[in-house]
Amino acid sequence: MSPLIIDIHTHVYPPAYMEMLRGRKTVPYVHDPANNKDPRLIILSSDDDPSIPLDERGRPVDSSYWNIDVKLAFMRRHGINCSVISLANPWLDFLEPEEAQAWAQRINDDLEDTCARVNQAADPEKTLALHEKETLYAFGALPLSAPSADIIVNEIKRLKSLPHLRGIIMGTSGLGKGLDDAKLDPVWGALQETESLLFLHPHYGLPDEAFGGSDETNRYGHVLPLALGFPLETTIAVTRMLLSGVFDRFPRLKILLAHSGGTLPFLAGRIESCIHHERKFVANGGDVPGPQRSVWEVLKTNIYLDAVVYGTAGLQAAMTASGADRLLFGTDHPFFPPLDSKEQQWPSVTTNYKAIHAAFDKEGDAVAAVLGGNAARILDLK
């Protein structure tokens, strides 16, 4: 039997989310061109340039972003048995406080209904093994802009009661000040109490100045922001959590990091060395508490990594940092589609398949674990 394949990094804009974005006039919003072409998502302020015709702003979001049948066809094409779908950026971070709770509940319910409908259609009368059908689960989104932490905490607890929700997706800004913000402690506490997995995903990248300014960045398209900005964003966010003692206060917090943790596995030793020599920390005579647990311990007890890194060297670093039993396959669909519309297989997916097999070529059990076994165990997928 072929190994079970579970995609834990795959995005969708469910109907309620698209409706919300269509109802907005400020970034982010969705515009439907008059020529019946694909809707366009204006996601960043730089996309909303008045000098650009409205029908050309932002990026097109074709049916692969919002039509679940297209998602299922993609799964069949690439041999994927189960997908854990989640919103793509910008999640719900931008909502006005008075809107956040209602939209979060509606969108999360939409995700639950979508998974339930697909799974029931695939299995109307009996329980089949995951190998025998295409099934869906989901990571929910949080109303982080809500006026009180209680609203966010209550949604975390509510999501735990939904049969097809298996965790939460969040960006790196938290409540707007980063993930080392002490005001996030109730959120971390609720995630720990409910044993909910947090899928941490980048969105904001690094400032244009890091890549030579906006003019320089435009010369190279999105290569620098996506290839370097996103991974470094994740690395910085998690390191700030470590330095502020989040993992000391919440030792059972479980976090899945997108794109194999950015550069965290590769830089963990350097981060640990700098912490060891930091004079501001109490351990070295300073007055700042500093982290009590090492980077290595956190990586092996609190952190899971997806395998969306497109290369054997990156996978080996991820495996060394967290362990092969904490590495999970993903595709990042529907991003990075084939440039040639005639291509049936997505190079972004087949590259990850090849890297996993190359990294564990003499360990069949490890390949099967990374492709699906780990996710089935960690997310309790029946």
Cα 243 to Cα 156, 174, 214, 294: the distances in Å are 25, 16, 31, 10
Between 382 and 98, name the one with better pLDDT: 98
Determine the structural domain holding residue 242 and report its residue range.
6-14+65-379
pLDDT digits (tens, 9 = 90+) for 90-132: 899 999 999 999 999 999 999 999 999 999 986 555 554 555 6
pLDDT at residue 131, rounded to an integer: 55
- How many angstroms separate the CA atoms of 218 and 208, rounded? 10
Let me know if 287 is exposed, middle or buried by CB neighbors in 10 A (0-12, 13-18, 19+). exposed
pLDDT digits (tens, 9 = 90+) for 277-329: 999 999 999 999 999 999 999 999 999 999 999 999 999 999 999 999 999 99
Q: Show the tokens assigned to 327.
A: 């590495």
Residue 32 lies inside a defined structural domain of this protein: no
pLDDT at residue 129, rounded to an integer: 55
Residue 51 lies inside a defined structural domain of this protein: no
Backbone angles phi, psi at 122, to 5 degrees: -80, -20
Residue 307 lies inside a defined structural domain of this protein: yes
Q: Give rounded-to-5 percent helix, strand, coil for the chain.
A: 50, 15, 40
Q: pTM above 0.85? A: yes
pLDDT at residue 207, rounded to an integer: 87
Which CATH number does the domain housing residue 345 bear?
Answer: 3.20.20.140
| Dihedral of the alpha carbons of 247, 172, 327, 262, in degrees to the nearest 10 | -110
Give CA 198 to chain center in angstroms: 9
Residue 37 lies inside a defined structural domain of this protein: no
- How many angstroms separate the CA atoms of 353 and 331, rounded? 9
Average pLDDT of the residues in 210-234: 85
pLDDT at residue 216, rounded to an integer: 66
Residue 363 lies inside a defined structural domain of this protein: yes
Residue 287 lies inside a defined structural domain of this protein: yes
pLDDT at residue 124, rounded to an integer: 52
Contacts 24+ apart (CB under 8 A), 46-52: 46/214
Residue 33 lies inside a defined structural domain of this protein: no
Q: Which residues contact 308 (CB under 8 A, 6 or more apart)?
A: 9, 258, 259, 260, 330, 331, 332, 352
Number of domains comprising the chain: 1
Average pLDDT over the chain, rounded to whole?
A: 93
Residue 375 lies inside a defined structural domain of this protein: yes
Please give the DSSP secondary-structure letter assigned to residue 335: S
- Contact (Cβ atoms closer than 8 angstroms) between residue 43 and residue 116: no
